A and B are shown apart, each in its own frame.
Chain A
Amino acid sequence: MGDVSRRQALRALGGAAALVGARTPVTWAQARDPIVAGRPLVRYPQKTDLILLTSRPPQLETPMKWFDRAITPNEAFFVRYHVFPIPNAVDLATWRLRVGGHVDRALELSMDDLKTKFPAVSVTAVNQCSGNSRGRFAPRVLGGQWGDGAMGNAEWVGCRLKDVLAAAGVRQGAVEVTFDGLDKPAFPSVPDFVKSLALARVLDDPNVIIAYQMNGAPLPMLNGFPARLVVPGWYATYWVKNLSEITVVDKPFEQFWMKPAYRIPDNACGCVEPGTTPKTTVPIHRMTVRSFLVTPEPGTRVAVGAPVTLKGIAFDGGYGIREVEISDDGGQMWRRATLGRDLGPYSFREWSTTWTPRADRSRVMVRAFNRIGESQGTEPLWNPAGYLRNVIESVEYQVS
């Protein structure tokens, strides 16, 4: 590039920066959503415009428009960290995944080891924050006030956790496995983010993987480069990012992020009477069934009698979606939508249907059923931490 064209490019870049600064900051749908209205769109490294929840530790929410497809692009994938500082550089020449604790042989695995010593497997799976949609709880609850965008679906490639554990040799008496990443609190008094899973949970499941690839590319730094745990069907709290240490333990691990954090009422619905405290709790685990109507976006003008194609996604905790239905009469009559391609039981399932607006029917509800018949309720369930939201969602259009 010659001097003149470089200058032109720089000038143009300045112009583009001004353009970016001047663009409409939020979509109509975001502006009308009381939870995410007023939050700026920000562009972090390796990321496209995401809705800022918090700067530090960073929490970035995916705008709903990205859920018009089954796979969430890496640049649009939500971000959620618990402690700060977080790693902003990982040198693969020195990075090692340490596997130790109650094992026969402690391991220090390089990225090359992960890729060459263990078979690579692929799983398409939804990664959803336990507190996704917490902002919609009524009565409201403390915690990250997410809208519905703390979720995403990707094709993850990596090696099986069970293969790595077998290489280390799990000793008799082991009960759980803990996972730690490179995000480390600045002060020793702040609890480090470490999670645990029962050995029985991970040894039985060939889909629990140490992923080093996301949608065909290395993981973005903010989504866990160079490797993260993938626990298909379970909430994202277990999907430890920037993974550095796996430890097999011979007694239950109950540090802060397992207890008292990330727990749900110990009953079938994971819920209690709004405003009350559960007597006993268990660690959050499998995701509930959810479905969203994504396009046209809320508030879109639609004409009476003119058919519109409605599209969205549905998912559950690993049984797979059997059916998606819509209703435009407040849930009295439900009509089946057409399901898109099946990318496996852990994935978003696209759905679509044609809907013909009537003057007196502007609100469209959507609900899904999974393959064991679980579905969504008409009334939201409540728990004090704001987890497991899966009430039937609806979208209001402007019918004219």
Chain B
Amino acid sequence: MGRALVSVLVLMAATVTAVRADDITLPPDHPYGMLKPGTGSEVAQRSCVLCHSTDYIVTQPPGDQKQWDGVVTKMIKVYGAQLSEADAKTVAEYLARQYGK
């Protein structure tokens, strides 16, 4: 490893140490969790990201309409997501289409 790189790493380590335990800035949502395009993706995006990044969706096991209906219902009934009935249907159908078995 060259001396320049070593000094850079030391400098970076110093920068990390300087970050105070009580003051951090979180990065934005990572693009790896981006929703697949398709009918309903905008409604899904708009409804879901109010509470969580979409990697919560794309990492789930693929499932049929019943699974995704259940997920959307849980989000509304248990986690208090504010979706109209029409939007809920759009989102559940989008999820089953794009993240189905």
Give the interface centre of A12, A54, A89, A90 by most chain B CB atoms within 10 Å.
A54
Among A55, A84, A92, contact of B27 (Cβ-Cβ < 8 Å): A55
User: Does B39 sit within 8 A of A, measured CB to CB?
Assistant: no
How many B residues, CB 8 Å from partner? 38
Residues of A169-218 contacting chain B, CB below 8 A? 185-191, 218
Tell whether A142 is near chain B: CB-to-CB under 8 Å: yes
Task: For B22, give its contact among A58, A89, A141 (CB under 8 Å).
Answer: A89
Least CB separation from A85: chain B residue: B26
Contact surface of B with A, Cβ cutoff 8 Å:
4-5, 7-9, 11-12, 16, 19, 21-30, 32-33, 50-53, 55-56, 59-61, 63, 67, 71, 78-82
Residues of the A chain whose Cβ atoms lie less than 8 Å from the Cβ of B50 = 186-187
Q: How far is the CA of A390 from the CA of B44 in the complex (A)?
A: 36
User: Judging by beta carbons under 8 Å apart, are A16 and B24 in contact?
Assistant: no
Question: Given the interface contacts A39-B32, A40-B30, A190-B80, does A46 sit within 8 Å of B24 by beta carbon?
Answer: yes
Residues of A with C-beta under 8 A to B33: 54-55
**How many A residues touch B, CB cutoff 8 Å?**
47
- CB contacts (< 8 Å) of B16 on chain A: these are 46
Contacts of A92 in B (CB 8 A): 22
Please indicate the chain A residues that have their CB under 8 angstroms from the CB of B22 in the complex: 89-92, 221, 225-226
A256 is an interface residue with CB less than 8 A from chain B: yes
- Given A16-B9, A52-B55, A84-B52, decide whether A145 and B60 contact each other with a Cβ distance below 8 A: yes
Q: Does A53 interact with chain B (Cβ within 8 Å)? A: yes
Assuming the contacts A44-B27, A45-B19, A220-B21, asked whether A12 and B51 have C-beta atoms less than 8 A apart, the reply is: no
Q: Using a CB-CB cutoff of 8 Å, which residues 136-170 of chain A contact chain B?
A: 140-142, 144-145
Interface centre among B22, B32, B61 (most CB of A within 10 A): B22
User: If the complex has contacts A16-B8, A52-B55, A54-B59, are A45 and B30 also in contact, measured as CB distance less than 8 A?
Assistant: no
Minimum Cβ distance to chain B for residue A78 (Å): 16
Asked whether A88 lies within 8 Å of B24 as measured between CB atoms, the reply is yes
